């Protein structure tokens, strides 16, 4: 089994390291990951400047790879279109340090890398640990390894990926696995204005996340209940339901 | 009427200039746009560095605004959350130089800015001219101005925006307006490998676009037929249809 592994925290992040150590037990791993952190880059691609590609050494004979001067989506594109001899059997993105839940997935480099895999016709998983502090990825890595095997055995429908969020708990503390929909997260007090040493103002984006939809069945709710959430994600942004309504507007030039 | 105007080609681009000149006839315009080109940045946000905000002078008393050292999504967020006293009535993103059709909208800064508007509860439009060369935005700007009026008169459902692509034709040459779904575009020969003066290799992303789904009813087909395409876009990435299938996998920790 050939697994393409990427992330948005960069190739040196502990989350991706935990993942390749675990996944190397079940397959041949190619890591193609950003050379530095590229969080919140969504599905950005690098088209106005060249992309650097350097081979990277791993301390494991079943792991090889490259570090990329680009975004997570660049990594998946360049791996599949230029670096690998054959399409991988699966793309795995993660393990992200921090959750990727609800509407926040729109900004996520981790999830976008998996979307790019699915766009290229490859089964894909995005995996995140629901903590900015806890750095024990063991449970999440083991769950991912099992999910890779299940996904390939059961066959994921085309144009779909799975977005997985794991609570920062010991295996025996986790309350189960739930197939969820995306909730809705909004942010309060999102911008902080400051002055630089020359008196010119600048802003920092921050903000306190507020779960606007954390009702039963959402990924946000599942994590609150100490469960692993598995959300099937598609990428057809057409809103078919309202097409008839817009047709009634009878637009003309 | 208060219109928030942004784009991904930057505040100095001719497409946004054509748009504020036209829209200033029907409302008060605030332009909050990137200080330089930010194409293909998708819904990326700037969270690891500060965002510069500078007031920008316009030669029109009904237009004011700021140039932002950030992405199109940053622009909409910072405008609504920090710069404007009130929520605008509508967000308009464009006019982009070049199409935003089919699966390519996933990478588009233009479309993502409109998605951000809709996320913040504001009706939103993204507008692109289907040409990298033609720089006459008159027809597209006039169509957008009418569409702004229609959208506010008819009410766009929540969590939806309209993605508009205009062919580079004279008004009388345009074959009509079609409400469309997103087609599918793939790229051939996407990466070109080169050597720098020191012999180290690097890659350029390019590639020839191939319309994989340009069947009747798609935005890709409408543009080929010389029509303006109007595609309703949502941003709920949950694939509800396959949730029961994944539940059958009976995943456990």
pLDDT digits (tens, 9 = 90+) for A175-202: 999 999 999 999 988 999 999 999 999 9
The confidence band for B212, taking pLDDT boundaries of 50, 70 and 90, is confident
Interface test mutation site (partner A, options B46, B101, B156, B238, max chain A beta carbons within 10 A): B238
Cα torsion B44, A63, A53, A135: sign: positive
The phi, psi pair for A152, rounded to 5°, reads -75, -30
Q: State the pLDDT at residue B214.
A: 87
The phi, psi pair for B59, rounded to 5°, reads -90, 55
In this prediction, the residues of chain A whose per-residue pLDDT falls under 50 are none
Cα torsion B63, B65, B70, B75: sign: negative
Least CB-CB distance to A177: which of B157, B236, B251?
B251
- Give the residue extent of every domain in chain A: 2-182+214-248
Q: B2-184+213-248: what CATH class? A: alpha beta
Please tell me which residue of chain A has the smallest CA distance to B45: A40
Interface test mutation site (partner B, options A194, A209, A246, A248, max chain B beta carbons within 10 A): A246
Percent of chain B with pLDDT over 90: 93
Interface test mutation site (partner B, options A203, A223, A232, max chain B beta carbons within 10 A): A203
Q: How many CB atoms lie within 10 A of CB A213?
A: 17
Helical packing angle, A14-23 and A138-154, nearest 10°? 50
Cα dihedral B119→B123→B129→B132 (10° resolution) = -20
- Give mean pLDDT, residues B48-74: 96
Tens digits of residue pLDDT in B171-208: 999 999 999 999 999 998 899 999 999 999 999 999 88
- Give mean pLDDT, residues B50-66: 95
User: Residue A203 and residue B78: Cβ atoms within 8 Å?
Assistant: yes
Q: How many CB atoms lie within 10 A of CB B47?
A: 15
User: Residue B40 and residue A51: Cβ atoms within 8 Å?
Assistant: no
User: Residue A157 and residue B46: Cβ atoms within 8 Å?
Assistant: no
Residue A249's closest CA among B148, B224, B127, B219?
A: B148
Q: State the pLDDT at residue A242.
A: 97
> For residue B211, is pLDDT > 90?
no
Q: How far is CA A34 from the centre of its chain?
A: 13
Cα torsion B99, B101, B103, B109: sign: positive
- Report the relative pairing of strands B184-188 and A28-34 from DSSP bridges: unpaired
Q: State the pLDDT at residue B213.
A: 85
Question: Above 0.85 for ipTM, yes or no?
Answer: yes
Please tell me which residue of chain B has the smallest CA distance to A250: B177
Residue A70's closest CA among A40, A107, A45?
A: A45
Q: State the pLDDT at residue B100.
A: 97
> For residue B106, is pLDDT > 90?
yes
Burial class (CB in 10 A: 0-12, 13-18, 19+), A244: exposed
- Which CATH code for domain A2-182+214-248? 3.40.1210.10
Q: What is the mean pLDDT of chain B?
A: 96
Q: State the pLDDT at residue A212.
A: 85
- Give mean pLDDT, residues B42-56: 95
Q: State the pLDDT at residue B26.
A: 98
Q: State the pLDDT at residue A2.
A: 98
CA distance B25 to B28: 8
- Give mean pLDDT, residues B222-249: 97
Residue B130's closest CA among B108, B103, B100?
A: B100
Q: State the pLDDT at residue A135.
A: 87
pTM of the model: 0.96
């Amino acid at each position: 089994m050939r697994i393409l592994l990427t992330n948005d925290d960069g190739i040196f992040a502990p989350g991706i390291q935990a993942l390749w150590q675990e996944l190397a037990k079940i397959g041949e791993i190619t890591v193609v990951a950003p050379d530095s952190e590229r969080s919140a880059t969504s599905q950005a691609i690098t088209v106005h400047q060249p992309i650097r590609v350097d081979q990277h050494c791993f301390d494991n004979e079943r792991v090889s790879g490259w570090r990329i001067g680009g975004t997570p989506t660049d990594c998946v594109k360049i791996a599949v279109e230029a670096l690998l001899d054959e399409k991988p059997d699966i793309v795995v993105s993660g393990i992200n340090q921090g959750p990727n839940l609800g509407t926040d997935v729109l900004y996520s480099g981790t999830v976008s890398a998996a979307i790019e895999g699915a766009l290229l016709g490859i089964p894909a998983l995005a995996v995140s640990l629901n903590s900015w502090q806890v750095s024990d990825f063991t449970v999440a890595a083991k769950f991912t390894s099992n999910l890779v095997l299940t996904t390939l055995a059961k066959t994921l429908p085309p144009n779909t990926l799975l977005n997985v969020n794991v609570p920062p708990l010991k295996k025996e503390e986790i309350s189960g696995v739930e197939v969820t929909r995306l909730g809705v997260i909004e942010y309060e007090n999102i911008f902080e204005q400051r002055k630089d040493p020359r008196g010119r103002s600048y802003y920092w984006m921050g903000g306190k996340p507020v779960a606007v939809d954390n009702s039963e069945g959402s990924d946000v709710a599942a994590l609150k209940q100490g469960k692993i959430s598995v959300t099937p994600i598609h990428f057809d942004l057409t809103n078919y339901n309202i097409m008839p309504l817009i047709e009634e507007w009878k637009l003309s030039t």
